[in-house]
Structure 1
């Protein structure tokens, strides 16, 4: 039986008692001090390692920060400096209808709690070559972002830093969209008709997510189709399903830019990128 397995079978008091007997034996036989320290320290280190092996479940609220990977020299990608996760500069969304190439506008990390735990990296893509897109120099950054989301095909790409339950993502999405609905009704930016029509798509949004986890570093693509006259806007969660609602589809993407947004780093990079547009 290995020393690790032997030590984990006994309580801490027994191990400390054993360490004292080592010390007594060393004194009686005049063992060198360095050997004694190695014996005691080795026992302590092995016990600590045993406890670490047992605690191998990482939860969303665990204070674990993944190591940052070396900078990628590939010019086709941008690295999130906070997590080391890379995003392609352009993406083409597969669809039955022709869709434009989307350009990466910005990336950032999403953190939660006062411990600043990293949950996922997020990238924002948009069809900046859309001829209908009208950005004026007099527009504020927030006005430009709203114009891009209202006019163009867009995508939010989420890449988790660890295995993340879909239920956590679902709850965060629902909180964000219901908060925007409540605030919009208060300040008059959302009409009562829009609020009533949004109720059913929000209920459907709750049902899209399975009772499993999104695997670490596996992207979740949330694609906002461009507006089509006479039809509600479509928001598709890749491999999960879609909802059809002008208000929900648009506001879901815009919530990433409300105030500082879920990722201040994302909004900061997006603003910097569109300043010259």
Structure 2
């Protein structure tokens, strides 16, 4: 009996460090009518499996915290249950500011209302040169922030998608933005000509590879810096340098009701008390 207990302990410890594989064994026949008892080895493996499985499940339950136990420094998109940190720090060789979450919302497409991704808008609200006019309208406050400080759009797909699928949507938004600026007389011929090559490069940055569900895609608009063109940096993919493309990519999210109306409304609500 002591030998059996020692063997069971060794099997259980081994199982806690390695994944289980199906055990190949001969079919077990009922003891009724056969005169043979149930094999001791089967009982031993069964006990070890129950012990090790319960140990693994306990570990998983400990690691996977329920949604109502999320840290206080996150906000959750009510439409998708995707959480966004209230402050964002992006690793970089060049020091970047700590970004503050201004608003978030879901992007939906088609008449079926399919939820494509949640998007959070972050900005460097601690920038000492950022003086948001108190009398400005909500749209003017958003434009003032985009024009005068670094911003980030964090995109979190609600389901598995691909970089190329997102790229196509981004390109349509930029093309629509260019037509609108032309109609308003807000785009010079020089700006339009200068944007063509950066637009082609922007399109080429996105690989034809999958993007897993809930994987963050950060798109950073750098702050203005003298006469240098601003950059639009797609995290881990590359960047383009062009004032119009970089700025208007972000502004496209807030035109009218916005690419994501819930995002636009969330940002408007957050900026209401801002201004000097």
TM-score under structure 1 normalisation? 0.73
Is 1:108 matched with 2:105? yes
Give the match's secondary structure for 1:194.
helix
Q: Report the Cα distance in structure 2 between the residues aligned to 1:190 and 1:255, rounded to whole angstroms.
A: 14
Question: What are the within-5 Å matches in structure 2 for residues 19-34 of structure 1?
Answer: none
Match of 2:122 among 116, 120, 125: 125
Q: CA offset at residue 73 of structure 1?
A: 4.2
1:172 corresponds to: 169
Unaligned runs of 5+ in 2: 1-65
CA contact 1:156–1:223 (8 Å) conserved in 2: yes
1:84 corresponds to: 81
Q: Report the Cα distance in structure 1 between the residues aligned to 2:196 and 2:267, rounded to whole angstroms.
A: 30
Match of 2:266 among 239, 246, 269: 269
Give the match's secondary structure for 2:199.
helix
Q: Report the Cα distance in structure 1 between the residues aligned to 2:97 and 2:236, rounded to whole angstroms.
A: 20
Q: CA offset at residue 95 of structure 1?
A: 2.1
Give the match's secondary structure for 1:95.
coil
Q: Report the Cα distance in structure 2 between the residues aligned to 1:124 and 1:210, rounded to whole angstroms.
A: 24
Q: CA offset at residue 139 of structure 1?
A: 0.3
Give the match's secondary structure for 2:183.
helix
CA contact 1:71–1:84 (8 Å) conserved in 2: no
Match of 1:196 among 188, 193, 213: 193
CA contact 1:155–1:223 (8 Å) conserved in 2: yes
Q: CA offset at residue 228 of structure 1?
A: 1.1
Of 232-241 and 71-80, the range deviating more from structure 2: 71-80
Match of 1:97 among 94, 99, 116: 94
2:63 corresponds to: none
Q: Report the Cα distance in structure 1 between the residues aligned to 2:180 and 2:150, rounded to whole angstroms.
A: 25
2:251 corresponds to: 254
Choose 1 or 2 for highest CA Rg. 2
Q: Report the Cα distance in structure 1 between the residues aligned to 2:273 and 2:69, rounded to whole angstroms.
A: 26
Q: Report the Cα distance in structure 2 between the residues aligned to 1:72 and 1:130, rounded to whole angstroms.
A: 32
Count of aligned pairs between the two proteins: 209
TM-score under structure 2 normalisation? 0.74
Q: Report the Cα distance in structure 2 between the residues aligned to 1:71 and 1:225, rounded to whole angstroms.
A: 35
Moved over 6 A (4+): none
Q: Report the Cα distance in structure 1 between the residues aligned to 2:94 and 2:214, rounded to whole angstroms.
A: 28
Give the match's secondary structure for 2:223.
coil
Deviations 1:143-180 (A, max 9, x none): 00001001111000000011112111111111110111
1:232 corresponds to: 229
Is 1:149 matched with 2:146? yes
Q: CA offset at residue 101 of structure 1?
A: 0.7
- Root-mean-square deviation (CA, aligned residues, Å) is 1.1
1:20 corresponds to: none
Give the match's secondary structure for 2:102.
strand
Q: Report the Cα distance in structure 1 between the residues aligned to 2:223 and 2:68, rounded to whole angstroms.
A: 34
Q: Report the Cα distance in structure 2 between the residues aligned to 1:259 and 1:72, rounded to whole angstroms.
A: 36
Give the match's secondary structure for 1:110.
strand
Is 1:209 matched with 2:188? no
